[in-house]
Structure 1
């Protein structure tokens, strides 16, 4: 059975508060914060992108796994903000972590669920015996047009998972996916910012897919919300996350640990993987975790995970999510706009 051998995360240290963005656009900061359940978000520095975030997260996952990176047989990087249109991020990561060239590597794109798609691929390769270890990463430096609602949430960060079958810290009990052609969010080739369907992104998009995948997972496993100690969902904002959790029967004690959007924003492909990592940082052997991602376009991947004894010795081998979150420096809107390349030369 495939499981998690190691995990690692990285979040840029720069932050911008919701009120700083609201001040520029004349919005009510308190209303925005309450409506989205977001207080501040991470901002990538000029020298940070999906590749650098992925490399740092991957290195931390290898520290936790305590394995020889030469044994990694597959590297998949899921993102919607790869630095190159034609040039894989995955090969950069593989080289940076000193993996052997005897591997398969690819970039994945499925909006915010590309990272969990990579986990599923690695699970299959490990279970089939084709590889010993697979590295799956979800990372993004998310885009939001100036003045758009996305600007309050679109942030940066990522998480990496080493998947294997021996010395695991958590095992996958099962996975289930739900997918339809729902164009709630998209970005055309060559365009700098995505477009979205406003409220359309909620009911027929996010909630339909997250709830359907979750209910499919429950049915497949013969479980319900009360069978799990922790739950984490994709979090475009805190409001959607909490509503989905409650609709499925989870209480605050179960879902609060994985809810990171209020302090770092929506990291897109990194959102569910980062939330899962925050749970693994504090999980105990025997705990069961329920995780559901979401990617616009649209689809969701659900996972049922059981924590193993091996987690106790691995939790402290790399920085935790909360340790990284606490390392922060605030910027104003002018610096934020400069870092994000929102200022264009005439």
Structure 2
């Protein structure tokens, strides 16, 4: 997600496994009741009043288990499937959903939210909640100062004029990094994509561990030396939203380059073997409710899948949707992405 400012023996075991156990907020008398355990990626963020309202209406105590990025979260579900650590999972996206289904750690949900029309779909029994686009972002001031035209194709980025300008995330440790790698493969084909990455290595591409390091350390907008970064189409709107001084326009822009855009869809599913099925279903419906679909736009900077929910003002005003995207199928991602990452490592880093 872009630009997020995102007790017992069990807690100690989860900490050793790299999982943080967090509650939704201070418990209230109304929220006292059985626990509903929700495992999420680290960027899960919704207003506390909304979470407290859900607790009150569902009669449960909400326990949020933040488990790293989507890939790490699936790994934890697999490792704990004999004794599930959660009842419901949010944050499964189209880079990992097929693997979660193949490993049988999720179950289909067939309630009303699963039957309604959605602006983006996910499949495998998960209910889509939000979507967004991983794409290249640029520092507008840097390009204006250097009087350099914006790249229009992937091949442009291999030219001498763009040497040393791009920072990407490692696809083994970053979901945006894997999404961007996947987009290049879907657009160019596997052989041509790795030829492109070889040319990018020669042209000085930098690899950061994750989105935070790339955006806040290497991106020239934030004091780094790279004016092109893999981020999200909603990042320019987030720049305006979080600015300490009012801005009339975003200082960054997203690029609509063929082969450099990946549509990421996130969803929610029941954890196989989990409990609290009625409350888990209510949580799934809650994530598709209009208040949540509105709120997530300026907390997690993703787009609502409910077609009738309006875009938040910052996103509507300062972000531009890409005209196209390049996605492998979920099955390809499930069966081939590990090999892609290994080959990418050999081509780009070794």
Q: Normalization by structure 2: what TM-score?
A: 0.25
Higher Rg of the two aligned structures: 2
Q: Normalization by structure 1: what TM-score?
A: 0.25
